[in-house]
Amino acid sequence: MIVRTTAWSAGPGCHGGCGVLAHIEDGKLVKIEGDPDHPINRGRLCARCLAMTQYVDHPERLRSPRKRVGERGENKWVDISWEEAYDLIEEKMGNIREEYGPESMVFSMGTGRDVGAWICLLAYNYGSPNVMFALSGIGCYSPRIAASETVLGDYCVFDGGQWLPKGHDDPRYEVPETIVIWGYNINASCPDNIFGHWVTDLMKKGSKVICIDPRLSFFASRADKWLQLRPGTDGALAMGFLNVLINEGLYDRAFVEKWTNAPHLIRSDTGTLLRASDLIAGGSPDDFVVWDTVSGAPVIWDSANQEFRSPGVAPALEIPADQCAVHLADESSVPVKTVWSTFCAEVAKYPVDRVAKITWLKPEDIIEAARLYANSKPATIQWGVAIDMTPAITPTSMAIAALWCITGNLDTPGGQVIARPAFGAVAYALPGQRGPIKLPDMESDKTRIARDRYGVLSEFIWRAQTDVTLEQIFTGKPYPVKGMWIQACNLIGGIGYDPKRWVKALKKLDFVCVVDTFMTPTAELADIVLPAATFLEKDGIRSWWTPLESIVKAMEVDGCRPDNEINFELAKRFNPDIKWANLHELLDEIVSPSGMTFDELAERGWELPPDGDPSAPYLRHERGLLRPDGKPGFKTPSGKMELYSVLRERWGFEPLPHHEEPPFSPVSSPELYEQYPLILSTGRRSPVYFNSEHRNIPWLREVDPDPVVELHPETGASLGIGDGEWVWIENMFGKCRLKAKLTPIVPRWMASATHGWWYPEHEGAEPSLRGVWDSSTNQLLPMGYQGKDGLGTHAKCTLCKVYRAHTAPPGAYALPGGGVIGGATSTAATGAGPAPGHAARRGGVSTGSGKEA
Amino acid sequence: MVTKRKAKAPECGLLIDYEYCTGCYACQVACAQEHHWPAGMGGIRVQEVVQALPNDRAYLAFIPFPTELCVLCAARTRKGLQPACVQHCMAACMKYGKIEDLVKEMTKPRMVLWAPRA
């Protein structure tokens, strides 16, 4: 039997979307292949998905709920039935809700999992608004989406033809002349629901590449322009690009005039936007003002009706100095300037020479890259998590969004396409979206952690702020946190910075439940662990941009249950009045905007939204497809793309894009830089792992057997470090032990360290916690350094020193057949490592027919 | 006395456009899955080659190399399917076919034609 379904999360771990054909024999997975007809991957499939036979039938996979019988972290468990597990969870979480209120339970998830919807289902029906993405500063994807929502009302991605049935061959499509790959080794993990190799496909069709990356990636090697910038200075670079574009007139002035709020006026006295309420008695504070060059007078822009209050207005982008005062309703007179002048003045603070000094780039490289981007039609930018991993994420994203807008590439074929979930069917509510899974009322949202501290959390991001949550666990202020539900999330071994502090935090809680496929360092600290199903073992939906896709159950693994079934069952227990009789009714409601039921969608496998649907390109701002009122324009307060952000002004943050130094850098902390003279960038992606997963999958582990830190050969030589030697990476917060790889693909001043390392084959009980303290780079990253608006982090731009470790971590990985990888002390390593039988078993054929191993 | 063994000329091969190989290792795992190889064995291995260049530059390349275990997926190609590595290659930079045809497709630099078996 061959089952056609969609890969997402548990299994390959990724943000998913690829079509697969699962070959099932006698209820077992014997082979998995890419679906040649699928519009995303067209028959291709990545290493992680191709290793699914070793995943689903892994001997160490969790196959029964278990209950802790020793202390937390002692790794003492007893298997229990699902019914007993549900009863216990109902009792423990019920007690917390009764005694402290539902907000005292936090629901923690990892990155881009399909569990996003289902964890909200459970949290919201329990009554808690505290769904937490467990990374400091919510620093992955959500900040970029929220920043784009803030200034544009929507999010954008590069146009890889993904909205068109024939992809690149569709007559409506244009191959981008230039693709900017910004902080992104996209082929290695297909993050942000983009299939990385679309870029490679387009390079073959002639797209040029500008690669912005300190590390020589595949793209950097082949780029027409490679900018090897200092990590954390992306904002300065974007401002430098804008500087070149504006000074050289390489922008689309007609777009700026018509579609941005560039002509809106700013009061020189307060520095804030001039509003109709300032100008006339009874004017609305939501309406703005422009200078009309025809009448030589201010005219009101009616935001609600998306029109000027008088006809024939020609708004000025710049106002002559002698006409720059307006009379206000209170009879006073105030000098004004336009948003455009203000924006240009901010950009003018970033001349190329200054930007070159900040970014450690050559001025001519910045200029040439800016010109190449601006002169290419169409051109597109695909940015990565490196942008989120700067604390000034929002102002940086605003600068990059301005780039794609003022060059006229917005929602054009081959340009920057506005991305909405296909048909508006929201399975997983990303910033700015609301699906059918909601809190019972908005009142319940008021207790969400740090919602009131950070405006963007009240407006777009429906999450508890992670750093504040951690502090609240210790302070109990303004209310105690008493329990945590952790699902598809390796808080200690993967996503949590300062993981030792998280261990202390978990130990303070009354109740911790972990749902996962394998034991992890995090699961070791739970009271109850539930065994989750992989994507092959569940029904579900993926509507992350496009297409709308069904996930259908191809098989079952005894003892395991799908996240959505687990959460639906518990949601029903905590809220007997839940709206849906069963999970399939909920799936039907989620896909209903497409006009299909779940079964109808499952029959088709996927569906692309038709032209004319607000979720299908192109030029939707011109066609009135973006705003709820059907008028042309954008879903922002002014209806314009906002070069000066109305919302940021309201929230009390800088309304203009700019650069800020990360907290630990040669510039912001020169004294620390003397002590820790290398820039530490953590988290370069491996194509065979998704974050902290897959180290226990033999076909994948053999590709990337050890945690690696890349150092330039000259840096290694100067530190007396040889290729393949184990080294300590240390800074003011902690240290970890990785294996040095000397390679000229990194600059001399950087240590590029792989993240998410723990050793599934090691002892589960403390103090080992599956070896997490050996090689977790997060020990060098503190919590609490999020950006001013609660977003953004510093994982890719901090400081460290590196020195020889002389020994390998205990129990270096043993290959089947007795070979040992990575042992500086290889004899000892073999002795302490997994038993030969253990390794051989894991290396063997896990399922299936044909040849025996 | 030494007698020279007469090697049979290979008929089919793999054409790799290594300009576009991104080092995703899909070919390697696809092969292991198809032929049930345990970790440590397989019909194709991806090699990373980093070449330092003048003026402090470097070039990063990956090359899939068919090993002694490569059988060119005879069982698949008999059924009209592509070899497992070729089908799943994320960069679509591998091609299977008759060597005489593949040679004609070597129309750009940074390509290699492997003839792993007769």
Question: pLDDT of A627-651, one tens digit each?
Answer: 999 999 999 999 999 999 999 999 9
Mutation for B interface: A18, A44, A685, A711, most B CBs within 10 A: A44
Residue A101 burial (10 A CB sphere; 0-12, 13-18, 19+)? middle
Q: Does B10 touch chain A (CB under 8 A)?
A: no
Per-residue pLDDT, A812:
55
Coil, strand or helix at A241:
helix
ipTM over 0.90: yes
DSSP code at position A11: T
Residue whose C-alpha is closest to residue A437's, from A540, A325, A560, A579: A579
Average pLDDT score over residue span A113-119: 93
Distance from CA of A384 to the nearest CA of B (A): 17
Residue A817: which pLDDT band, with cuts at 50, 70 and 90? very low
CA–CA dist A297, A295 (Å, integer): 5
Tell me: pLDDT of A5 over 50. Answer: yes
Tell which wins on pLDDT, B73 or A810.
Answer: B73
Per-residue pLDDT, A813:
54
C-alpha atoms less than 13 angstroms from C-alpha of A771 in its C-beta half-sphere: 24
Distance from CA of A727 to the nearest CA of B (A): 22
Contact between B39 and A843 using a beta-carbon 8 Å cutoff: yes
Coil, strand or helix at A680:
strand
Residue A822: which pLDDT band, with cuts at 50, 70 and 90? very low
* pLDDT tens-digit readout, A742-757: 999 999 999 999 999 9
Nearest CA in chain B to A704: B25
Q: Does B103 touch chain A (CB under 8 A)?
A: no
CA–CA dist A712, A745 (Å, integer): 7
Per-residue pLDDT, A427:
82
Residue A562: which pLDDT band, with cuts at 50, 70 and 90? very high
How many C-beta atoms surround the C-beta of residue B55 within 10 A? 4
Residue A613: which pLDDT band, with cuts at 50, 70 and 90? very high
Window 638-667 of A, Cβ < 8 Å to B: none
- Which one-letter amino acid corresponds to residue A107? F
Residue A321: which pLDDT band, with cuts at 50, 70 and 90? confident
Residue A358: which pLDDT band, with cuts at 50, 70 and 90? very high
Mutation for B interface: A32, A56, A218, most B CBs within 10 A: A218
Contact between B89 and A845 using a beta-carbon 8 Å cutoff: no
The mean of the pLDDT values for chain A is: 93
Mutation for B interface: A32, A33, A40, A50, most B CBs within 10 A: A50
Distance from CA of A35 to the nearest CA of B (A): 10
Spatial strand order of the sheet with B94-98 comes to: B94-98, B12-17, B111-114
CA–CA dist A483, A172 (Å, integer): 52
Per-residue pLDDT, A826:
32
In CATH terms, is domain A66-140+436-607 a member of 3.40.50.740? yes
* pLDDT tens-digit readout, B1-48: 777 777 789 999 999 999 999 999 999 999 999 999 999 999 999 999
Residue B25 has its nearest CB partner, among A44, A688, A853, at: A688
What share of chain A has pLDDT > 90, as a percent?
Answer: 89
DSSP code at position A367: H
In CATH terms, is domain A2-56 a member of 3.30.200.210? yes
CA–CA dist A790, A137 (Å, integer): 6
Per-residue pLDDT, A141:
92
CA–CA dist A383, A385 (Å, integer): 7
CATH number of B12-114: 3.30.70.20
* pLDDT tens-digit readout, A671-686: 999 999 999 999 999 9
Distance from CA of A501 to the nearest CA of B (A): 35
Residue A308 burial (10 A CB sphere; 0-12, 13-18, 19+)? middle
DSSP code at position A495: I
Assess contact for A297 and A272: CB atoms under 8 A: no
Per-residue pLDDT, A843:
34
Residue B70: which pLDDT band, with cuts at 50, 70 and 90? very high
Q: Provide the b/e sequence for A659-689 (b: ≥16 CB within 10 Å).
A: bbbbbbbbeebeebbeebebbbbbbbbbbbb
Tell me: pLDDT of A829 over 90. Answer: no
Pick the CATH number of A670-843 from 2.60.120.380, 2.40.40.20, 3.40.50.2300, 3.40.50.10140: 2.40.40.20
- Phi and psi at A18, nearest 5°, equal -70, 145
Per-residue pLDDT, A811:
59
Contact between A50 and B26 using a beta-carbon 8 Å cutoff: yes
Q: Which fold has domain A151-253+351-419?
A: Dimethylsulfoxide Reductase; domain 2 (3.40.228)
Cβ neighbors of A26 (< 8 A, separation 6 or more) are: none
Give domain limits for chain A: 2-56, 66-140+436-607, 151-253+351-419, 670-843
**What length does chain A have?**
853
| Residue whose entry in the numeric block shows the structure tokens 């905590």 | A574
CA dist A515 → A104, A130, A490, A757 (Å)? 19, 17, 10, 20
- CB under 8 A, 24+ apart: contacts of A822-825: A822/A705, A822/A706, A822/A724, A822/A726, A822/A739, A824/A725, A824/A726
Tell me: pLDDT of A16 over 90. Answer: no
Contact between B32 and A699 using a beta-carbon 8 Å cutoff: yes
Nearest CA in chain B to A697: B39
Residue B26 has its nearest CB partner, among A46, A53, A218, at: A46
| Residue whose entry in the numeric block shows the structure tokens 């609305």 | A284
Cβ neighbors of A120 (< 8 A, separation 6 or more) are: A107, A131, A429, A437, A462
Alpha carbon A354 to its chain's center: 30
- Phi and psi at A767, nearest 5°, equal -85, -5
Distance from CA of B6 to the nearest CA of A (A): 31
Mutation for A interface: B19, B21, B25, B108, most A CBs within 10 A: B25
Contacts of B34 in chain A (CB under 8 A): 31
Cβ neighbors of A421 (< 8 A, separation 6 or more) are: A427, A433, A543, A544, A545, A546, A548, A615
| Tokens encoding A646 | 């109305």
Assess contact for A647 and A286: CB atoms under 8 A: no
Contact between A703 and B25 using a beta-carbon 8 Å cutoff: yes
Tell me: pLDDT of A851 over 80. Answer: no
Coil, strand or helix at A109:
strand
Average pLDDT score over residue span A133-152: 96
| Tokens encoding A83 | 């019914």
Distance from CA of B112 to the nearest CA of A (A): 17
